[in-house]
Chains A and B, each alone.
Chain A
Amino acid sequence: MKKLTTFQLMSIMLCARFFSTMTYFPFAYENAAVYMLGAVISTALQALILLPAAVFAHAFNGEDPCGLSASKSRVLGYAVSALYLVYFAFSAFITVGDFSYFMDYYFTGYIPRIMAVICSVLAAVYIARMKISVLGKAAVYASAGFIIMTVMVVCGSISDLYFTNFHFAEENITDLIFSCVKAEFSRNGSLVLFVFLMSELDASKGKKDMPISRAAWYFLAVKIIVLELILFLITVILGDYVQLARLPFFSLAAYSQTGIIERFDGLFMFVWVIIAVVKLSAYIFCGAKCLRNLFPSLSRFTSAAAAGAVPAAASLFFLIPHNWERFAYSDGGAWQIVILTAAVPVLLMIICRKGGKEKNEKKLG
């Protein structure tokens, strides 16, 4: 099997989002209940942003922006590929840097940062150099692992629910909601992954009638349900402690216990590493594909190695002198997601239709 199923693409997107959920939460200094509201609004906005991509997917039968632009104009193809390459390289840089930083700072101190970077990038390159279906299947297992781990953590802490912790008593609630919407939006690089990977969806076995954008809608639905559930549990179990915890989901796992396992932070870390490698693999895979668009002579392995090595080296430049804090707690940019998910497809649709009209006029002439 060479292509992705809808479920596999959704799993890749979920892994990319779950990594952020499991790591840093921007509401640490705010109210989790407000963030829940902000997440719902943000998800609605994401759905709006995805509409052009859905129309694009329908109009061009799931072709990715790079392929389509290259078919129209060589220069345009290079430009679009370069644009996506920069985004994926930067996302890989942030992912591997965050992974190493949080591993060292919060999860466990026994792995040197350089080792965390090398091991994760090697594993990710190994996966990214294979077919996309391998990444898709690995993402399915990783997502399943996340769900199982979440259920275990919840079961271990279900006895400590205090619903009085759940409240909206905040000053300037409108501003807070706005900042939460922005923060949640900027943590959804999965949308860019969807636009780029929709061309890999399998439409060979009687699935032509299904909308290609189905993976994105499913992603949004599953993401918001899981996110709201986690936020709710964090709020009602940890209470005001979330204001101190920068990684509240991890704190919940550490707090959770059963008669057999004293705390679940080890299990949490186990799943977190797997999810991180899958997310990194997705970015490296996409970056490698962009590289091959720009330099067709590159092999799969060389392009994947280059797409992994450059962000890894760049992240080490900040990680080793302990300067990663400037990236670790930033919200990231929502604008690049809007550009790559909505603006680029809209522009390409306009260009392609214009090109199509001109061709028709020439034919008629």
Chain B
Amino acid sequence: MSFSPDHENYKEIQISPQVSDAMRDLRAVTGNTMDLNIMNVKICGVDCALVSIEGMVSTVSMSELIFHPLMELEKRGSLKPEDIFSFLTEKSLLAAERKTVYNYGNVIQFLFSGFAVVFIDSLKKAVVFGIQGYDKRAVTIPETEQTIRAAQDSFTETIRTNLSLVRRRMKTPSLRFEMSQVGEISSTDVCMLYLADRASPEIIEKIRSGLSSIKLDTVLTSGYIEPFIDESYDRSVFSSVMTTERPDMVCASLNEGKVCVLVDGTPFCLILPTLFADNFRTMDDYCNKSFYTAFSRWMKYASFFLAIAFPGLYVALVMYHPETFTLKLLLNLAASEEATPYPPVFEVILLVVLFEIMREAGLRMPKAVGGAVSIVGGLIIGDAAVKSGLVSAPLLIVVGITATASFVTPSLYSAVSVLRLVFILAGGFGGLFGLSAAMIVLIANVNAMNDFAVSFTAPLTPFFRSGVKDMLVRDSFKEYEKRQATVEDFRQG
């Protein structure tokens, strides 16, 4: 093509054979952006240019892996352009990643991914070298999924670092990484991970087509792509896509035939398809004996129930069914509620909303200030609210237990916080009738989730004997030796 490229039409245009023209084109495409670093150099009598983006490449690597070998090449005297190209691509090992590119679309893609590009005069192609050197966060301990005995590393924002964290735990050739770019403007790297001999080809294909269907301008976090791969995204409060920042959790999921998706710039990995029971599983479960894991899991199930239904149940019983309480408890409750001016439903909503405000404030504030917010909220406001007679003491205990319980299953927090309010309203305005109606609708909603033909509520409904034991108490490792269950077991036609 003869016309000069600009930032809209550059993608398919072939690289100009003259280095000076190619540099002119690059400047035109990038609007001569200040971080475009072009170094014109004559090697063995041939005009060449080394192009990189400031701050994206390692200057040390560039010096050692590109400058130095090229200067050594200079000693050989006069060479043809093809000989230089051959040296760069076939007769040297200048960098771990090396590719030949033919159009400006690929040049720009690699430049902005931290590659250096070498243009050689009279050639309609260029060579790119992976010498990325941008600043990145180190691998640190997981912030949201802490464990006691399991691994203490977590994903970072750099996709390649994350891939290495998975690869070094799964030394098998069947572990496949499929990289693609999504986002018209951001061209974000997205990588699909799966074990070829475990994951269902149908699930892989569905996710692959879901990713390729994304037409967003930018993909800045994994949340952007969730709606495209989560089939029940708009139909349920729960998500059939789980996120984790733990590489070991990703490996465990891959072993179960699940597919994981890593997004560059996000320290969380998407896992799908997931089951409801997966939200109650931690890597510590596999470090403790079965009896303790069973105890721990049941605590989590109970906590989930408390987190969504306890305040609603309390309100329903206090307001409409006080006869359910034993006499002593009933008298105590009556005495405390007597002293407050508002109905229990209003008190609970007030406290729950207050708690959510404090949680949000604590979350967004610097850590030191966040602690102070918790103290002010928990101790001072709570104590003052009871003393002033605004809310009753038993109700404060109920909300406190609920708030604590909701942190036991962090992956369900968003669903829990909304459902809790729904149940409070249902219990407050409809008593146990309202709670029952809300419960059956919730049960139906959860049971309707059937992404990739895997029931979200499996292995309970539909019932799979092999999976239920692992869900309730965790199978022994001897059982895992015999047979590793995969999501394929729970797929229905």
Q: Chain A interface: which of B65-73, B324-332, B361-369?
A: B324-332
* A103-B492 Cα distance, complex, nearest whole Å: 39
With contacts A5-B463, A277-B437 taken as known, whether A262 is within 8 angstroms of B444 at the C-beta atoms is: no
Verify if A318 is at the interface (C-beta below 8 Å from B): no
Contact B327 A137 (CB under 8 A): no
Q: Which B residues, 436 to 477, have Cβ-Cβ distances below 8 Å to chain A?
A: 436-437, 439-441, 443-444, 447-448, 450, 453, 455, 457, 461-463
A123: which of B323, B441, B457 is its contact (CB, 8 Å)?
B441
Verify if B320 is at the interface (C-beta below 8 Å from A): yes
* A7-B462 Cα distance, complex, nearest whole Å: 9
Contact A131 B448 (CB under 8 A): yes
Verify if B391 is at the interface (C-beta below 8 Å from A): no
Verify if A140 is at the interface (C-beta below 8 Å from B): yes
- A138 cross-chain contacts in B, Cβ below 8 A: 440, 443-444, 447
Verify if A266 is at the interface (C-beta below 8 Å from B): yes
Q: Which B residues, 412 to 458, have Cβ-Cβ distances below 8 Å to chain A?
A: 430-437, 439-441, 443-444, 447-448, 450, 453, 455, 457
Verify if B289 is at the interface (C-beta below 8 Å from A): no
Contact A202 B492 (CB under 8 A): yes
Contact A119 B324 (CB under 8 A): no
- For the complex, would chain A's binding face be called helix, strand, loop or mixed by DSSP majority? helix
Contact A273 B447 (CB under 8 A): no
With contacts A110-B320, A273-B432 taken as known, whether A205 is within 8 angstroms of B492 at the C-beta atoms is: yes
- B330 cross-chain contacts in A, Cβ below 8 A: 262
A134: which of B439, B447, B463 is its contact (CB, 8 Å)?
B447
Verify if B28 is at the interface (C-beta below 8 Å from A): no
Chain A nearest CB: distance from B326 CB in Å? 5
Q: Which A residues, 120 to 136, have Cβ-Cβ distances below 8 Å to chain B?
A: 120, 123, 126-127, 130-131, 133-136
Q: Which A residues, 229 to 280, have Cβ-Cβ distances below 8 Å to chain B?
A: 259-263, 265-267, 269-274, 277-278
Verify if A323 is at the interface (C-beta below 8 Å from B): no
Contact B437 A262 (CB under 8 A): no
Verify if B206 is at the interface (C-beta below 8 Å from A): no
A273: which of B436, B444, B493 is its contact (CB, 8 Å)?
B436
Verify if A141 is at the interface (C-beta below 8 Å from B): yes
- B440 cross-chain contacts in A, Cβ below 8 A: 123, 127, 138, 142, 273-274, 277-278
Chain A nearest CB: distance from B223 CB in Å? 27
- B448 cross-chain contacts in A, Cβ below 8 A: 130-131, 134
Q: Which B residues, 181 to 210, have Cβ-Cβ distances below 8 Å to chain A?
A: none
Q: 0/1 per residue, A95-123, Cβ < 8 Å to B?
A: 00000000100011011000110011001
Among B324, B443, B444, B493, residue most surrounded by chain A Cβ atoms (within 10 Å): B444
- A110 cross-chain contacts in B, Cβ below 8 A: 320, 431
B433: which of A1, A116, A134, A262 is its contact (CB, 8 Å)?
A116
With contacts A134-B447, A263-B323, A266-B321 taken as known, whether A7 is within 8 angstroms of B463 at the C-beta atoms is: yes
Chain B nearest CB: distance from A263 CB in Å? 6
* A138-B437 Cα distance, complex, nearest whole Å: 12
With contacts A123-B441, A261-B324, A263-B323 taken as known, whether A274 is within 8 angstroms of B462 at the C-beta atoms is: no
- B430 cross-chain contacts in A, Cβ below 8 A: 111, 115, 119
A1: which of B320, B432, B437, B450 is its contact (CB, 8 Å)?
B450
With contacts A1-B492, A111-B431, A134-B447 taken as known, whether A262 is within 8 angstroms of B325 at the C-beta atoms is: yes
Verify if B408 is at the interface (C-beta below 8 Å from A): no
- A263 cross-chain contacts in B, Cβ below 8 A: 323-324
- A274 cross-chain contacts in B, Cβ below 8 A: 436, 439-440, 443
Q: For residue A120, which residue of chain B has the nearest CB?
A: B437
With contacts A204-B493, A273-B433 taken as known, whether A1 is within 8 angstroms of B323 at the C-beta atoms is: no
Contact A127 B437 (CB under 8 A): no
Chain B nearest CB: distance from A12 CB in Å? 13
With contacts A7-B463, A111-B430 taken as known, whether A130 is within 8 angstroms of B437 at the C-beta atoms is: no
- A205 cross-chain contacts in B, Cβ below 8 A: 492-493
Q: For residue B455, which residue of chain A has the nearest CB?
A: A1
* A202-B462 Cα distance, complex, nearest whole Å: 11
With contacts A141-B443, A262-B325, A263-B323 taken as known, whether A123 is within 8 angstroms of B437 at the C-beta atoms is: yes
Verify if A188 is at the interface (C-beta below 8 Å from B): no
Q: List 24 A-B contacts (CB under 8 A).
A: A1-B493, A8-B462, A108-B320, A115-B430, A123-B440, A126-B441, A133-B447, A133-B462, A140-B461, A140-B463, A205-B493, A260-B326, A261-B324, A262-B325, A262-B330, A263-B323, A263-B324, A265-B324, A266-B317, A269-B436, A270-B435, A271-B436, A274-B440, A277-B437
Closest A-B pairs by Cβ, 3 of them: A273-B436, A1-B492, A137-B447
**Given A5-B462, A108-B432, A262-B325, 7 new contacts (CB under 8 A):** A108-B320, A119-B437, A120-B437, A127-B444, A135-B444, A136-B461, A205-B493
